[in-house]
Amino acid sequence: MEEPQRARSHTVTTTASSFAENFSTTSSSFSYDREFLRTLPGLLIVAEIVLGLLVWTLIAGTEYFRVPAFGWVMFVAVFYWVLTVFFLIIYLTMTYTRIPQVPWTTVGLWFNGSAFALYLSAAIVDASSVSPERDSHNFNSWAASSFFAFLVTICYAGNTYFSFIAWRSRTIQ
């Protein structure tokens, strides 16, 4: 004996097809901001990514787990490296224009400000944890990571300044 087929819900079909139509129209019209990488904030983000990568790879290539302070440096470096790559993708693809509900200038200010503060603390911890008598074969990598951590801190400070200018001009209007 055959079971009778249930009628499909019309709303499910409509919702699914509407989603498919909206998805196909929005995904085919991704924008790419070629000029962003030529701006000073864009160059600073690229510098943050490159220098941040150097910070955590120089530490990760050593026996950093023997010095607990390097755990903090690794956390800050990897965390902000991943988020900075994420923000670079958002800026390059102009995703921020598609999600106007998010106050992007405020998000950028908080992100860059927190990155500056935490990277500054990580750079100080990194520099104070480097000593030649601890482990001589890791000394050069740790010293170099400390140098690059301070450079990344300067880059985040610059982006914090530009984010503040953008945020201030948004709140004045």
CA torsion, ordered 131, 47, 163, 153, to nearest 10 deg: 10
Does one domain contain both 47 and 91?
yes
Digit-coded pLDDT (tens) for 67-100: 899 999 999 999 999 999 999 999 999 988 899 9
**Same domain for 76 and 46?**
yes
In a domain, 8, yes or no: no
Regarding whether 113 and 63 lie in a shared domain, the answer is no
Residues 65 and 87 in one domain: yes
Residue 138 lies in a domain: no
Residue 109 belongs to some domain of the structure: yes
Please report whether residue 119 resides in a domain: yes
Q: Where are the alpha helices (DSSP H) in the chain?
A: 10-27, 40-60, 69-92, 104-129, 139-172
Q: Please check whether residue 6 lies inside any domain of the structure.
A: no
Q: Are 163 and 105 in contact (CB under 8 A)?
A: yes
In this structure, the answer to whether residues 50 and 81 fall within a common structural domain is yes
CA 36 remoteness from chain centre = 16
Domain that holds residue 76: 31-101
Nearest to 138 by CA among 58, 76, 75, 83: 58
Residues 82, 107, single domain; the answer is no
Which pTM was predicted? 0.79
Tens of pLDDT, residues 138-162: 889 999 999 999 999 999 999 999 9
Cβ atoms of 52 and 81 within 8 Å: the answer is yes
Tally of domains within the chain = 2
